[in-house]
Chains A and B, each alone.
Chain A
Amino acid sequence: MHELSIAMAVVEQVDDALRERGAERVPVRSLTLRVGELSGVVPEALDFSFGVAAEGTVLADARLLIETVEGRARCGSCGRDTATGMPPDLWCGPCSRAMNLTGGRELEIARVVLDDVRPDDAGERHGDDDAPGVTGAQADAAADAPARDKEASHVPHR
């Protein structure tokens, strides 16, 4: 159940990042993680753990959005670009050589959407201007995004 450790790392990092931006008291509305199919992390377990780890923090009421990233590999010889599947098949049979992984190992905090804030709450500009990494459009998109890609396949966890 290393997802609890991972959830705690997520909470700690988001907390630090917001602190650096002077926004440590601003409630987080949603948090988006990118989880690769081959990262060894089970989204369901992470979802459960996050609820525990976020208790009593600015993330307590945050909606956790998990974007799963498909495992993909490309053969450097024949150029075949394919989903690796799960378990991954990283061997190009026809070419008899190892493929190159192009996606699927991600384990990343992509973004957070902060709740309504007054301009003096933080040293950060708001969704309606062009500050780097801050866009109102993304905020809306994130809020509407499905909580999880149900198609994701998972590593058996025991």
Chain B
Amino acid sequence: MCRTVDLHQAVLAKNDTNAVELRRTLDDRGTTAVNLMSSPGSGKTALLEALLSRAAAGGTPAAAVTADLATENDATRLARSGAPVRQILTDGLCHLEAGMLRGELEGWLPEETRLLFVENVGNLVCPASYDLGETVRIALASVTEGEDKPVKYPAAFGLAHLVVITKTDLAEAVEFRREDFLRGVQQVNPGVPVIETSARTGEGVDALLAHVLRAADGRETHTPVLARQHEKHLHHHHDDDPVADHTHAPAGAADHSHAPAGVPDHSHAPAGVPDHSHAPAGTPR
């Protein structure tokens, strides 16, 4: 004889709980975390150097945590900005988890920090699965990587609150097809804002910093389509399952709390599109 035990637990429940607690802790002290995700060599560190310098120039206390499998090269580069910087060495792990970030920040993050930039491990696959307690998740791609990055890595780009194109100063040289890139972004993450930047010329850096600061003020509104279903999944409860209650992320999991719960209405419907009356009532899921 054997028996079946229904668990219905989110596999990443522990990470999500850590992320929710970290987000709450940061919120309470007025710090907004920004999770930067991209493939290796896309220019995250150079852009971050520019962002930290601009933040300092504008009187915004910012700090950065940078994660790599090996070397402290990035932390050394970023520290030149004068901002507090920490390097997390993942010892081969391909992504950051919320618990690792929490541990790193404890007793280190200066109280006045307004923006905390988290440079994730260079990888567009694995980091996408882990909520780090950030308020803004940014997926970056450089013009040199090809236009199909968003559709090749739909989780990374689909879950982003903001997409950033880097190295635009090289766009012409590599014949970057901007419209193709934007179409791919729109396919996996409808309505996500896109900012084009060059750390070398400074293009877009101010706009990016301004966007992040608006989010820090609670004015960012984009909620990715992919994130909406994930939230629902994390929140659902099985009342008949006593185990699930101990392990499900608490209410608010994956709730990027500055985003409204509702579905943003990207009402770009051109004139002539029929109204909602064509929607069949009670369309089955």
Contacts and interface: CB of A to CB of B under 8 A. Distances in A.
Nearest to A107: B11
A96 B279 contact: no
B191 interface: yes
Interface residues on B, range: 35 or more
B126 A2 contact: yes
A6 B97 CA distance: 11
Contacts of A104: 229
Nearest to B124: A158
A103 interface: yes
B95 to A, nearest CB: 5
**Which of B156, B267, B279 has most chain A Cβ within 10 Å?**
B279
Given A6-B129, A87-B187, A98-B263, A113 B4 contact: yes
Interface of B is mostly: mixed
A52 interface: no
A10 B11 contact: yes
Interface in A1-45: 1-2, 5-6, 9-10, 12-14, 16-18, 20-21, 23, 29, 33, 38-41
A58 interface: no
Nearest to B130: A2
Contact of A133 (B5, B15, B128, B247): B5
A90 B12 CA distance: 24
Contacts of A114: 2-5
B5 A97 contact: no
A128 B268 CA distance: 57
A101 B228 contact: yes
B147 to A, nearest CB: 13
Contacts of B230: 105
Nearest to A28: B5
A101 B226 contact: yes
Contacts of A133: 4-7, 240-241
A23 B13 CA distance: 21
B12 A107 contact: yes
A76 B281 CA distance: 11
12 contacts: A21-B243, A23-B5, A96-B268, A97-B268, A98-B266, A99-B225, A112-B4, A114-B2, A136-B4, A138-B4, A139-B3, A143-B2
Top 4 closest pairs, chain A to chain B, by CB: A2-B126, A98-B190, A40-B155, A133-B6
